[in-house]
Amino acid sequence: MTDQVRVVDVGPRDGLQNEKQHVATATKIALIERLAKAGLTTVEATSFVSPKWVPQMADASEVFSAIQRQAGVRYPVLVPNEQGYRRAREVGVEEIAVFGAASEAFSQKNINASIAESLQRFEPVIAAAKNDAVAVRGYVSTVLGCPYQGAVPVADVVRVAGTLHRMGCYEISLGDTIGVGTPRQARAMLEAVAAEVPMSALAVHFHDTRGQALANVYACLEAGVRVVDASIAGLGGCPYAKGASGNLATEDLVYMLDGLGMNTEINLEALIEIARWINGELQRPASSRLALAGLER
Ligand code: HMG
Ligand code: MG
C-alpha cells in the first residue's frame, strides 16, 4: 500500500458543531487556516444548517467570508436545503456537501425528513450546484449502525450511496456516525457499496467512540479506499446522535499513513501543534494519542 491518500479534515465542522460553549468565530477561522497551512488539501469549513438546530454553526457566513483561502485547497461546507445553498453561495462557497442517512430513524432526527424526502430536497440543491459549477460531496450517515434503529442493513447503505452518486455527488463519504463498527464489518460494507459506486468515488468517515476508527480505516485502505475523513484533535460528535464522540483524530491517522508509506503531504508536527492549540482554546486536555505522546521518542 504505497498510494496517495487524501485526508479530509472535518474538525471545523463535525468537530465543533457539538460544542456546548460558543467557540469564537476568530478561533474557527484560525483553525481552518492552520489546517490548510499544515498541508490538508480539504478542510470542511462549516455548515449552513438551521441555527435553530445547530447554534454553534450560526456564524457560518462570517467564518467562510473571513478565511484566507489557499490555492489548491478545497473548503466544502454542509448544506441541508436550498436556503443553506443560497447562504453558502452568498459568501462564495465553491464546494458543498449534502448529507443523508441509511437509517430512517436517524434521518428524521437529524434533518426532520424521511430518506426519500431528503433525497428530493437535495435534487434542486444539486441542480443549482451543477449550474454554478459547485462541486457536491454526499454523506451517508449511520452506515454501520444507528442510535435509534440499531442495525442498518448494508443494502440500505448501498441504495442511498448509489442514489447520491447518480444524482451527481462526485464523492460519497460513508459515516459510522456513532462509532459502532468493527473492521471486518466496515470492509464488507465498503466493498458492497463499491459494487455500486466506484471505489475512487468513496470516502470513509469513522467516529472513534469505541476505539475502532483507526482499525476500520486500515481495513478499508486494504479494500482500496483512498479518501479518509478525520478531525483534528479527535474533536466532535453529531448533536442528533446520542453517544457520537469525536471522529478519528487527524494526527493519529496521519501517523499511521506515514508509517505505511502512504503519502499525504501533511506536516504531522504542525498537526500536533494545532491539536494542542485547539484543545487549549476549548479548555480541555488532549485526547488524541499523538497530541499526548508527541513525536519525541
Ligand atoms: P426544519 O425545522 O424541518 O426546517 O429543519 P424548516 O424549513 O421548517 O425551517 C425551520 C427554521 O429554520 C426556519 O426558520 C427556517 O428559515 C430555518 P423560522 O421560520 O422558524 O424562523 N432554516 C434555516 N436557516 C438557515 N439556514 C438553513 C435553514 N434551513 C431552515 N439552511 C433542517 C430542517 C434540515 C433545516 C434542520 O433539520 C437542520 O438544519 N438540520 C441539520 C442538523 C445537523 O446539522 N446535524 C449535524 C450534521 S450531520 C452529521 O454530523 C453527520 C456527518 O458528520 C456524517 C456522519 O458522521 O455520519 C455528516
Ligand atoms: Mg460525522
How far apart are the CA of 10 and the centre of ligand 2, in A? 8
> 46 in ligand 1 pocket by Cβ < 6 Å?
no
Q: What is the 3-state secondary structure (H, E, C) of 70-125?
A: CCCCECCEECCCHHHHHHHHHCCCCEEEEEEECCHHHHHHHHCCCHHHHHHHHHHH
Regarding beta strands 6-9 and 42-43, do their DSSP bridges make them parallel or antiparallel, or are they unpaired? parallel
pLDDT given at position 134: 98
* pLDDT less than 70: residues of the chain: 1-2, 237-239, 241, 243-244
Predicted local distance difference test score (pLDDT) of residue 236: 87
Mutate to test the pocket of ligand 1, among 44, 50, 82, 208 (most ligand atoms within 8 A of CB): 50
Phi, psi of 36 (to 5 degrees): -65, -40
Q: Residue 111: CB within 6 Å of ligand 1? A: yes
What pLDDT, on a 0 to 100 scale, did the predictor assign at position 287?
85
ipTM over 0.90: yes
pLDDT in tens, 75-109: 999 999 999 999 999 999 999 999 999 999 999 99
Active site residue 238: yes
CA of 92 to the centre of ligand 2 (A): 24
Report every protein residue that has its C-beta within 5 angstroms of ion ligand 2.
Answer: 14
Tell me which DSSP letter residue 235 carries. -
CA-141 nearest atom, ligand 1: 57
**Hey, whose CA ends up nearest to atom 23 of ligand 1?**
50
14 C-beta closer than 6 A to ligand 1: yes
Contact indicator for 112, 131 with CB cutoff of 8 Å: no
Please classify residue 282 by burial: count the beta carbons closer than 10 Å to its beta carbon, then call 0-12 exposed, 13-18 middle and 19+ buried: middle
Quote the CA–CA distance of 38 and 43 in Å, as a whole number: 11
Q: Supply the residue whose CA is at minimum distance from atom 31 of ligand 1.
A: 84
| Residue 279 CB–ligand 1 contact under 6 Å | no
What contacts 88, CB < 8 A, 6 or more positions away?
48, 60, 64, 77, 79, 96
From ligand 2's centre to the CA of 213, what distance in Å? 12
Is the pTM here over 0.95, yes or no?
A: yes
